[in-house]
Chain A
Amino acid sequence: MLKYENVTKSYGAVHALRGVSVHFQPSKIHAILGPNGSGKSTLMKMAIGLVKPDLGTVRVYGIDPVEDPISARKIVGYAPEEIVIYESLTPAEYLSFLGYIYGIPKDGLEIRLKTLIKIFKMEEHMGKLGGELSHGNRRKLLIMSALIHDPKVLILDEPFSGLDPEIARVLKELMRKYAEEGRIVIFSTHILELAEAVADEVTIMHLGEVVAKGPMEELRGKKDLETYFLEVTGLTSELEELLKAL
């Protein structure tokens, strides 16, 4: 299980997280929703010790990512929102390097990589330099990097951004398979329809706080997700006022 207890994080005067307590259970796909700057990415980065909480604790299957980031990173697959790749390396070279870092045996790595390459339709692009890849292919490479070591926890920050509909569908199926295998799958998105279509549970964040959390059916029962989201984040009235002022 991935647990956050009373987690607080500030960047100078900006409060990214304010006493967040939230648990993510295995066997489910969790969507984190929230406007820009609500603390989604900070929350996700904490799972691998990329960001350290000022207060509170984070535990990934009992591992404290602050004290032991190496162990946490071995079981978590993380793809950031920002696309960062080596522009002078081919995907084949980069993924081979990751295989070494995660200590994956040759046979296992070969089979896994070839499968991932087929799933994400990257055969034609594996020999191109990173700088020659399109935005969508760079995103695919990032997701493949997060999956290469068969992680127990999969954390994808805005993974659908830039993906074509076919690969977006593949990714949804893959996330479902991971959840069914008993893993924790977390993704963030701005697209509410996507969260409705994919997630089992939704966590809504606003101004560094979790303002709503629950199973999708429960939230759906109240009203449509968009209206609910705008209500709990307090954006409905703000939006009405702004539209009037426009």
Chain B
Amino acid sequence: MVNFPYLSFMTFTPVFGALFLLLIPKENARGIRTAAAFFTLLTLVISLFAWRAYDLTLDPAAHPVQLVEGKAYDPQAPDAERLSAGSAWIPAFHIYYFVGVDGLSLPLLLLTALISTVAVIASFNIENRVKEYFFFMLLLEAGMMGVFSALDFFLFYVFWEVMLVPMYFLIGVWGGPKKEFAAIKFFLYTLFGSVFMLVAMLALYFWSGHPDRGIPHTFNLLELKRQAGGFNPAFQLVVYWALFLGFAIKVPIFPFHTWLPLAHVEAPTAVSIILAAVLLKMGVYGFLRISFPILPLATQQYATVLLVLGFINVVYGAFCAMAQSDMKKLVAYSSINHMGYCLLGMASLSAIGLNGAIFEMLGHGFVTGSLFLLVGVVYDRAHHRDIDGFGGLGVRVPKYAGLMTLACMASLGLPGLCGFVGEFLCLLGAFNPNRILGNDATFKVFTALSVIGILVTAGFFLWMIQRVFLGKLNPKYAELPDLDGRETVAAIPLAVMTVLAGVFPWFLLKVMDPASQALVTHIVSHAQQVSTSGGDVVSWLR
């Protein structure tokens, strides 16, 4: 079987595109836009082919990851074989260019490709420094693709950091009134978290393997996962919280969320879309890809902490959103609320909960992507986003009102739309947590309390719809034009996905489910292993 390097193409097509843009003269804005759209669309097409090439019939135990490039990863192979999967990059430290996907990362890659395309189309109206804008946009896409496809911690870290710089410039140059402050706050806050991730990464490397017995240290995430039984409880605790800082800031988990409303509100529309729809997912993805499988005992011990933080995110985010008068801020706080559902699902350590968390990531991507897009549309026309400054727009802009209402309904969890599936699975999982957690009652209480969040979410979205679209038409906006062709093209795919994933969630769940099941089994068996053996990497490897 000849393997087409789908993942490398998905990661490096945008890089190539960014370099290509540099060759187009600055004045040719039209050409730059077309080229940027072409390269994101090409990435999307490749990722659709990758989706098709992903084989669901393969046994996940024998093929934990697919679409690997270079040397394949075979769990049955001897140590040296497995450790050198991928292609050599820095042999002195056993670092490999090792990429691959499983049910967890494949949907997120697709989401990234789709959202990037939408974002590029949505930013066609950028007039200022067009070339630089799309240059950074494409670099950003490359970084995101790389994060979701990397299976080597070093590679993962490189892509994770690479993304910060384009984001800094995108917010800082093209953003709103407080853009400079928002940009540097985003940059420093995220960097603060990720330097701790760097320390954790180095610690995992030097504590893994056993060079004296010919098993080298490794950055390979699948290998680190295999050795999870060998990391002692004290070590797991330290590394877990170091990684937690890195990921929690990205999610963002209360109380590390303060960069988010600022960055989301100040960023230009398309960048807000990417921030909310993809960047936040990287935090959750980090937990599921790195913390959970590699540190199972710590994961089990601190699941309750995640649960409580998830509850705070849900309720606090919802109440904050309700208090906003700015539409964009409202959507930003609703993101904090939705990431709370993900945390609830993850904390449960059950397959249903994990499925819910992954599904919620996708659902939130589609829904919040369209919400930011549509808020951006009305801002372009009215030059403000004050909820009370509109009124009765439903009569004047029916297409816009319809799409906006659809997105709001999906976000508040109306059955039949994608938000419902994710939220329901997360709450269901958290209500019936994994037996190894042992404190059923706490989980049930906090899950029940989290339902308040749903209520409040419904409240603020409906209230917003009422104030913006219903009632008497504000005479100031009697001439407000409806969505134009470009905006419709950008909005429709997300709306279609919102409905499709809502009525037919299985086409996504069937991909995720094997990954969730495998992760739960892994955590249960390895957490027990560590607690009985005390976690000694040497005896474990023997």
Q: Is this pair of chains taken from one and the same complex?
A: no
- B contact residues vs A (CB 8 Å cutoff): none
Interface residues, chain A, CB within 8 Å of chain B? none
